[in-house]
């Protein structure tokens, strides 16, 4: 069998259970989450320790075999999927899933990179702490993948992205060197912040094997509300009002259009009687770790002021845990709802908050000019200037073909608008394999040059996730 010598060499290194070469079992590792691309690999390696990851990297470097680190394979941009050549091996961190320590005094979680996000959240909660990273894929994505993509999610407006939550890292470089910096320090000005190099690097600079994450006090009170927006509501101004009047206790500000809400509620057995106003709807949540704050009272005052401003037609405060859960279910079911409706072409746009309204106006007219009958599902973490501006695939139309057509034409017009407003084509999904051409097109030349130099310094032979994000510099061009 082709590659059988190499497979045996990896078996000798990390044992029988650490190497999967059965094509049926491999299949789930080679197709991306959205099933847009299927790559190929001759084996999936499942190391159990950081030492084994280092051994794998050294052997792969000797054999000239590329490695693709993989966590939960929930990436939206094909970042964790091997290419089609069949010459790259997937390194899945799924066996490295230990929660090493929850330190309630330092308020940190030290974990293996293969730990599932939800299991780290649960371990922190058991100690009365919050891991403030929350996203729809949290039951299957892993900390190494969250670091690889600098995941954002539903609480960024309050706690920031993964980059803001990481205190320490352990990672294996492309020559097998182990970077061991699992410290819990908030202050450590001792030269380059190496751990941050791995954040958002999508497996191209090293294989993360462990991390120390910053925790927060667990919120014991929450107030959750659903706001139906008037036509033309300025979202950024409404956000500013809510932040100001809630003493900045805001943890969530999620915008949804009527179409997105309908996609979510269509399949719910008992959908909550929330809906959208002409300007859409916003899910707002305040949270506090103190029992002494009357959050419902505070939220009621905020809602009254929002209605008074004329930007909100109607607002509901969740009166119970189940009402709160139902509101959240609507927000979290939108991606599934899009899938049920034959899928969507996703645009993960980010623009400065001050430009959100302008983006919505320009993008709306661009879509109407392109094809008046196209349906949009627009929603997102607007508190962070992030919009998922998705074009729904019409029923009966080939999903892949339609996607290619839109991405060749309309998507570029939308990205042009985002760029003209100092925004970006990828807010939180990353670059991966699907968006490299966009990085080349929209990336600042100097920044791209710096990225190539960093890649060259960390991984000169392009061993790690080759084909994702950027290529290293040609040796001849390095002076």
- Which residues of the chain form contacts with ligand FAD (CB under 6 A)? 33, 68-76, 79-80, 93, 113, 135-137, 141-142, 144-146, 148-149, 151-153, 202-203, 207-208, 335, 428-429, 432, 465, 468
CB of 314 to ligand FAD, least distance (A): 27
Q: Which residue, 342 or 413, is less far from ligand FAD as judged by CB?
A: 342
Give the nearest distance from C-beta 458 to ligand FAD in angstroms: 12
The distance of closest approach from Cβ of residue 288 to ligand FAD in the complex, given in angstroms and rounded to an integer, is 23
Identity of the residue, 210 or 277, whose beta carbon is nearer to ligand FAD in the bound complex: 210
CB of 72 to ligand FAD, least distance (A): 3
If the CB atoms of residues 152 and 343 are measured against ligand FAD, the closer one turns out to be: 152
Cβ proximity to ligand FAD: between 51 and 136 the closer is: 136
3-state secondary structure the chain: CCCHHHHHHHHHHHCHHHEECCHHHHHHHHECCCCCCECCCCCEECCCCHHHHHHHHHHHHHHCCEEEEECCCCCCCCCCCCCCCCCEEEEECCCCCCEEEEECCCCEEEEECCCEHHHHHHHHHHCCEECCCCCCCCCCCEHHHHHHHCCCCCCHHHHCCHHHHEEEEEEECCCCCEEEECCCCCCCCCCCCHHHHHCCCCCCCCEEEEEEEECEECCCEEEEEEEEECCCCCHHHHHHHHHHHCCCCEEEEEEECHHHHHHHHCCCCCCCCCCCECCEEEEEEEEECCCCCCHHHHHHHHHHHHHHCCCEEEEEECCCHHHHHHHHHHHHCHHHHHHHCCCEECCEEECCHHHHHHHHHHHHHHHHHHCCCCCEEEEECHHHCEEEEEEECCCCCCHHHHHHHHHHCHHHHHHHHHHHCCCECECCCCCCCCCHHHHHHHCCHHHHHHHHHHHHHHCCCCCECCCCCCCCCCHHHCC
Beta carbon of residue 32, minimum distance to ligand FAD (angstroms, whole number): 8
| Minimum gap (Å) between residue 370 Cβ and ligand FAD | 26
CB nearer to ligand FAD: give 73 or 251: 73
**Nearer Cβ to ligand FAD (11/163):** 163
User: Which of residues 18 and 148 has its CB atom nearest to ligand FAD in the complex?
Assistant: 148
Q: Closest residue (Cβ) to ligand FAD?
A: 145
State the nearest-atom distance from the C-beta of 301 to ligand FAD, in Å.
29
């Amino acid at each position: 069998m082709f590659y059988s010598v190499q497979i045996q060499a990896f078996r000798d290194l990390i044992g029988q259970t650490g190497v999967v070469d059965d094509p049926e079992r491999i299949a789930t590792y080679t197709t991306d989450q959205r099933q847009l691309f299927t790559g190929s690999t001759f084996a999936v390696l499942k190391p159990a320790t950081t030492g084994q990851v280092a051994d794998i990297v050294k052997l792969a470097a000797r054999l000239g075999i590329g490695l693709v680190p993989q966590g939960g394979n929930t990436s939206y941009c094909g970042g964790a999927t091997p290419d089609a050549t069949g010459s790259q091996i997937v390194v899945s961190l799924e066996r490295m899933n230990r929660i090493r320590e929850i330190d309630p005094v330092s308020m940190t979680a030290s974990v293996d990179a293969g730990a599932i996000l939800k299991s780290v959240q649960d371990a922190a909660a058991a100690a009365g702490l919050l891991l403030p990273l929350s996203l729809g894929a949290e039951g299957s994505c892993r900390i190494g993948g969250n670091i690889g993509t600098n995941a954002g999610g539903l609480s960024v407006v309050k706690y920031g992205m993964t980059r803001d939550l990481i205190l320490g890292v352990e990672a294996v470089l492309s020559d097998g060197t182990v970077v061991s910096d699992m410290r819990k320090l908030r202050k450590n000005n001792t030269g380059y912040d190496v751990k941050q190099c791995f954040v958002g690097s999508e497996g191209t600079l090293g294989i993360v094997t462990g991390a120390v994450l910053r925790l927060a006090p667990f919120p014991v009170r929450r107030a959750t509300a659903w706001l139906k927006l008037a036509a033309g509501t300025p979202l950024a101004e409404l956000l500013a009002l809510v932040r100001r009047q809630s003493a900045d206790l805001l943890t969530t500000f999620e915008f949804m259009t009527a179409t997105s809400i309908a996609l979510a509620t269509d399949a719910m057995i008992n959908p909550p009687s929330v809906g959208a106003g002409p300007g859409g709807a916003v899910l707002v949540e305040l949270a506090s770790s103190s029992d002494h704050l009357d959050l419902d009272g505070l939220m009621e005052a905020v809602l009254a002021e929002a209605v008074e401003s004329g930007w909100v037609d109607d607002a509901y405060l969740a009166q119970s845990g189940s009402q709160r859960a139902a509101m959240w279910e609507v927000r979290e079911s939108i991606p599934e709802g899009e899938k049920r409706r034959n899928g969507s072409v996703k645009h993960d746009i980010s623009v400065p908050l001050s430009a959100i309204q302008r983006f919505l106006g320009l993008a709306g007219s661009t879509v109407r000019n392109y094809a008046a009958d196209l349906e949009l599902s627009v929603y997102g973490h607007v508190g962070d200037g992030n919009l998922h501006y998705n074009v729904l695939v019409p029923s009966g139309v080939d999903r892949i073909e339609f996607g290619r057509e839109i991405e060749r034409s309309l998507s570029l017009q939308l990205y042009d608008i985002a760029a003209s407003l100092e925004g970006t084509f990828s807010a939180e999904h990353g670059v991966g394999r699907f968006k490299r051409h966009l990085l080349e097109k929209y990336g600042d030349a100097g920044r791209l040059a710096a990225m190539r130099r960093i890649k060259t310094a960390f991984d000169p032979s392009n061993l790690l996730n080759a084909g994702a994000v950027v290529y290293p510099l040609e040796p001849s061009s390095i002076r």
